[in-house]
Amino acid sequence: MRVSIWVYYEDIMRARKKPIEVIALQYTKDNQNELLELLKTNKDEPVRCSKDVIYIQKDRGEIALYLGNWVIYESYTDKCFWSIDPDIFLKTYDKVAGRENIYSKRVYEVDCIEFKSLDDNDIHAVLDFLHILTTDELLSSIKQQGYILIETLEGLEKLYLSEILIKGVEGEYYPVKRENFDKVYDLV
């Protein structure tokens, strides 16, 4: 069994978040029904509720909106709803004065990497960025599936070719479609 322990520093990029405005609501017991109705307006992403967790089905996997999390809607990018941990939300968003439920992303920098191809070196680079040891079995599985499973704070999501993997402000990882990355980030 071959194991990778290389860190591909040349593949790691630094990106700066743009100050884009979003609609944001915090999920509370009092607004669960209202939030469910809002989420159901996106017919491409079915939702279901299980006690205090709302699940949103994405093309890359199902994400969880936990009680206390914030849900954001970015009309500037994919026009989808996303769940954000409350501590991370408070560190990365500011309320826009005089506008109900409108927040602006703070400008901050993150490390990221592009999933360029299914070549061994490109897979190794992403897995090393995640601090995952690469085995022959894992490499073969990724090549067969065509994606890398990413453990995010909201659940397992798929990172597809040409997409960007972000390491967030709390060390959390999340995949971003390239077209959304280009709208929300500038390379430093």
The Cα–Cα gap between 65 and 48 comes to 10
pTM: 0.88
**pLDDT score at 8:** 53
Give the C-alpha distances (Å, rounded to integers) separating 4 from 14, 128, 160: 23, 8, 21
**pLDDT score at 1:** 45
> Letter for the amino acid at 96?
V
List the structure tokens of 93: 């968003």
Give the closest residue to 179 by CA, choosing from 25, 33, 68, 76. Answer: 76
* Contact partners, residue 147, CB within 8 Å, separation at least 6: 158, 159, 160, 161
Question: Which residues of the chain have a pLDDT value below 50?
Answer: 1-5
**pLDDT score at 3:** 47
**pLDDT score at 107:** 95
**pLDDT score at 184:** 92
